[in-house]
Structure 1
Amino acid sequence: MNYVLFAVPFFFLLIGLELLADRWRGVSTYRLADAVNSLSAGVLSTTSGLLTKALGLLTYTFAWQHWGVFGLTADNLWVWLFAFVFYDFCYYWNHRLGHERNVLWAAHSVHHQSEEYNLSTALRQTSTGFIFGWIFYLPMALVGVPPLVFLTVAALNLLYQFWVHTRHVPKLGWFEWLFITPSNHRVHHAQNPVYMDRNYGGVFIVWDRLFGTFQEELDAEPVVFGVTTPLRSWNPLWANLQFYAVLWHDAVRAESRWDKLRIWFMRTGWRPADVAARYPQAKPDLANFVKFEVPLGRAAQLYATLQFALYVAGGIYLLGWSEPWPLAGQLLGWGWMAFGLYALGTWLESRPWALPLEWLRLLLNLPLLWLAQLGGWLPEGPEAWSLLGLYSLLSVAGIYLPRLAKPAAQVA
């Protein structure tokens, strides 16, 4: 069962309730472009997962079948409880090393790039974590936890983590000692030096208390959210590539071959001495921290919001129905999603090429629909073409009507 798919309506319902809480309390924890960027990264991650999750699942199943020590079964409640706790222990080390090693941080940093902290941040996930993430859960296979149990507790662990991404819940007393809460997870998303690289658990905070990585949220030190190498972009593709690009540039610039190799696996932030001397990196002054923002008119914001809603619907469709598709169909779906979210990011950034790219995106929907019907991945018939035509006309109107209205508004 795909628990994440069934949870999507509840995710958006809770985001809506958080927006109401913002209004009721007279605060603002959301910015449109930031929230769309976070959600775009999440949609891209789930779509990419259709292509990449086989790596982790196949290696886990192979290890369980051939090297599993104990014959644990899915009909035993204690196996489920053990697996739930054991998964979080493995997650702790995956998460911790994801902060402590350059190449792992390159994947995980996507989740931390938002300079806001709200429920949309919880859905901001990496598309490249599959490369190394599967390694950390092999101990569960070796112990004998069945794949069905593993997949279920993994989903439950992920779902638990959603609610802790909010600023509206204060400290929760004794609960703080055992479980991850909004307070101690706010610490985890901070770029303040006192808070950095702390509170790694997914469900339980006890691992952090045991291994010396716990930090309480301090009243005297307000959290500043984000990363010390700011993304400064609303583009989910660049969000996934940014820190890899940073490492690549430093590796190319390094004179030592050994440095070119080891930079990927050194502690996060380590740079070859010669590169650091020639290309120093300035860190943001948190006392004068300014969030990334691009001015965008209301009409352009509304257009981006409605277009993004289409990609959310497309992501849900792919998540629910594309698993039986052949690789060609899944690649087509991923390409449609990735290019569309890239175009949306350039629109939110008001790039000079945003409008031509938007025209290209709309035009590409024609051959993409034809290919999807030809492959049997979308229903055949004129209805789909009629819907696409209506959508295209509305999109063109959304692009140009506000532009035509501008001169009249200026005269008035």
Structure 2
Amino acid sequence: MNVILYAVPFFFLLILIELLLEKNKSTDYYRVNDSINSLTAGVLSRMTGVVKQLLPLTIYVVAYEQLAMFQISSSWWMWVTAFVLYDFCYYWKHRFGHETNILWAAHVVHHSSEEYNLTTALRQSGSSFFSWIFYLPMAILGFDPIMLITVGSLNLIYQFWVHTRHIPKLGWYEWVFVTPSNHRVHHAQNQIYIDRNYGGVFILWDRLFGSFQEELDSDKPIYGIRKALKSWNPLWANVHVYAQLGKDCWHANRWQDKLLIWFKRTGWRPADVEQNYPLSKVDLTQFRKFDVSLSLTNKFYSLIQYSLLVFVGLLLMMNVSAFTLAEQVLVVGFVLYGSISAGLVLENNPLAINLEWIKYSLIMVTLVVYTLPVWIEWTLGVSILINGLLLLFRKADIINATGPMVEASN
């Protein structure tokens, strides 16, 4: 059972509640472009997960069947044990994900938002290929794949609610569990907060292994990453650190460095590369959030595009067994294409207009070639009609919006 899929409506309900709190308290924790970018990255992550999770799960199953030391029962206390053990493995996966170059390249997308709200929780990686390694000890101990998937889903669901600024410190709860306060620390780029609070459900691991940091009133968290993304392109969010590592690998003179750069501590660069291709240093006292001025029409159009991507994504996730592998790849490719196009719309990039028309053409071809349920055909057909008319009517507005790129103050 896909627990996360059933949790999606509750995620959006909580986002709606937080938006109402935003209005009621007159806070500024949401921006349309940033939130859509987070949500689009989330859809993209779920889509790529449909395809790329097959191999890691197969490896886990083989390890379980061939190497399991014990036959774990399905008693309630073994489920609790599996839940706690999973979080212990998650802690180390998460910690290495921050402290190793190649793993940070996959995880960085989750930290790339310069806002902190419930949509940030959905900004997940679509390029994580090695995380399964950290859970192999559970297979060797004898926890079956269904148990792993279930407790892993519950772990991820728990982490959703801690991505908010509306909940203060929670007293004794802070000592045992991950909370909004100690997870705000984790997402901050302030020097005192960097690489802290890795737990998914239990903050005890951080207290035990020396990675805990309390949120301080004297240091307001500044969210985001030191090498700011400065883009709404979800694909670039997923690959930009890989690209930098690839460049450094190419420029390195020593073959040892070409290999080591991928596995060294995050931020490490060969001495010759550091000298010949220096990267600018970040001054947080001058920090400005990346932003692009959008018209109301552009915001509305982008929300519709995101809704279309969610619709297509849910169709795949709810009926994945009905799709051939080739069809799964095509749908994931369409969502990737649509995500990139949506990002360019948010950046007021003129190229977005052409990409959007191509997207609608692809949907039309699908409707002609494939026999789909009537309600899906109608949904896609009406979407094309509305969006096409909006694109025609407001073409200049979508291209030019209200001006060039700006940076919002913190």
Query: How would you bin the TM-score normalised by the shorter chain?
Result: over 0.9
Per the alignment, residue 202 of structure 2 pairs with: 204
Unaligned runs of 5+ in 1: 407-412
Q: 2:392 aligns with which of 396, 400, 404?
A: 400
Q: For residues 376 and 59 of structure 2, what CA distance do their matches in structure 1 show?
A: 39
Letter in 2 for 1:391: S
Among 211, 216, 219, the residue aligned to 2:217 = 219
Q: Hey, what's the Cα distance between the residues in 2 that align with 1:12 and 1:368?
A: 29
State the AA in 2 paired with 1:22: E
Amino acid at match of 1:399: L
Paired with 1:138 and 1:370, the residues of 2 have a C-alpha distance of 45
Q: Which amino acid aligns with 1:40?
A: T
Shift of 1:392: 2.2
Q: How many Å apart are 1:2 and its aligned residue?
A: 0.7
Provide closer, same or farther for how the CA distance between residues 186 and 327 of structure 1 changes in structure 2, counting only shifts above 3 A: same
| Mapped pair 1:340 → 2:338 | yes
Q: Which residues in structure 2 correspond to 1:260-275 (within 5 Å)? A: 260-275=258-273
Distance 2:330 2:366 in 1: 8
Deviation, structure 1 residue 284: 2.6
TM-score of the two chains, using structure 1 as the length reference = 0.94
In 2: Cα distance, 1:358 partner to 1:227 partner: 30
Partner of 2:33: 33
Distance 1:391 1:127 in 2: 26
After alignment, is 323-332 or 256-265 more displaced?
A: 323-332
Letter in 2 for 1:395: N
Cα distance in 1 for residues equivalent to 2:331 and 2:307:
16
Counterparts in 2 of 1:67-82, with a 5 A limit? 67-74=67-74, 76-82=75-81
Tell me, yes or no, if the aligned pair for 1:250 and 1:271 is still in contact at 8 Å: yes
Structure 2 distance, partners of 1:157, 1:63, is 22
Correspondence for 2:158: 160
Partner SS state of residue 225, structure 2: coil
Contact 2:353/2:395 (8 A) holds in 1: no
Q: Distance in 1 between matches of 2:343 and 2:243?
A: 18
Deviation at 1:386, TM superposition (A): 5.3
Deviates more, 1:322-331 or 1:175-184: 322-331
Matches of 1:349 and 1:320, distance apart in 2: 32
Identify the residue that residue 178 of structure 1 maps to in structure 2.
Answer: 176
Q: What are the ranges of 5 or more consecutive residues in structure 2 without an aligned counterpart? A: 399-410
TM-superposed CA distance for 1:358, in Å, is 1.4
Contact in 2 for aligned 1:198/1:214 (Cα 8 Å): yes
Picking from 228, 235, 238, the partner of 1:237 is 235
1:50-69 map, 5 Å = 50-69=50-69
CA 1:242–1:371 in structure 2 vs 1: closer, same or farther (change >3 Å)?
farther
| Aligned equivalents of 2:114, 2:325: Cα separation in 1 | 36
Q: Distance in 1 between matches of 2:378 and 2:316?
A: 21
What CA distance in whole angstroms lies between the structure 2 residues aligned with 1:285 and 1:13?
Answer: 37
CA distance in 2 between partners of 1:14 and 1:348 (Å) = 24
Q: Is the 8 A contact 2:197 2:211 kept in 1?
A: yes
> For residue 2 of structure 2, what is the aligned residue in structure 1?
2
Q: Distance in 2 between matches of 1:303 and 1:113?
A: 23
SS in 2 for 1:97: helix
Partner of 1:409 in structure 2? none
Aligned to 1:349: 347
Counterpart CA distance in 1 for 2:384 and 2:322 is 29
Give distance in 1, aligned partners of 2:65 and 2:396: 65
Q: Distance in 2 between matches of 1:388 and 1:92?
A: 42
Distance verdict in 2 for CA 1:372–1:96, change over 3 Å: farther
Return the match for 2:191 from 176, 190, 193.
Answer: 193
1:110-131 Cα offsets, whole Å, 9 max, x none, are 10000000000001100111x1
Once residues 56 and 248 of structure 1 are traced to their aligned partners in structure 2, the CA distance between those partners, rounded to angstroms, is 25
Match of 1:100 in 2: 99
How far apart are residue 306 of structure 1 and its match?
1.1
Deviation at 1:5, TM superposition (A): 0.8
Are the counterparts in 1 of residues 182 and 213 from structure 2 also a CA contact under 8 Å?
A: yes
Deviation at 1:352, TM superposition (A): 2.6
**3-state SS, counterpart of residue 292 of structure 1:** strand
- Match in the other structure for 2:277: 279
Alpha-carbon distance between aligned partners in 1 of 2:70 and 2:381, rounded to the nearest angstrom: 58
3-state secondary structure, aligned to 2:149: helix
Query: Runs of 4 or more off by more than 6 Å in structure 1?
Result: none
Give the secondary-structure state (helix, strand or coil) at the position aligned to 1:311: helix
Of residues 53-62 and 102-111 in structure 1, the stretch that sits farther from structure 2 once superposed is 53-62
Deviation readout 1:282-327 (Å, 9 max, x if unpaired):
1332112110111121111111111211111221111111234210
- Residue 410 (structure 1) aligns with: none
Q: Which amino acid aligns with 1:214?
A: F
1:148 aligns with 2:127: no
1:39-59: CA deviations, max 9, x gaps?
111101111111011122111
Letter in 2 for 1:123: L
Query: Is 2:298–2:397's contact at 8 Å kept on the other side of the alignment?
Result: no
Maintained 8 Å contact 2:297/2:397: no
Higher mean C-alpha displacement, 10-19 vs 275-284: 275-284
SS in 2 for 1:293: strand
Question: 2:125 — aligned with what?
Answer: 126
Instruction: Give distance in 2, aligned partners of 1:292 and 1:44.
Output: 22
Larger displacement relative to structure 2 (321-330 or 202-211): 321-330
RMSD (CA atoms)? 1.6
The CA distance in 1 between the partners of 2:250 and 2:367, in whole Å, is: 41
Whole-Å separation in 1 of the counterparts to 2:164 and 2:143: 33
Q: Partners in 1 of 2:271 and 2:140 — Cα distance?
A: 41
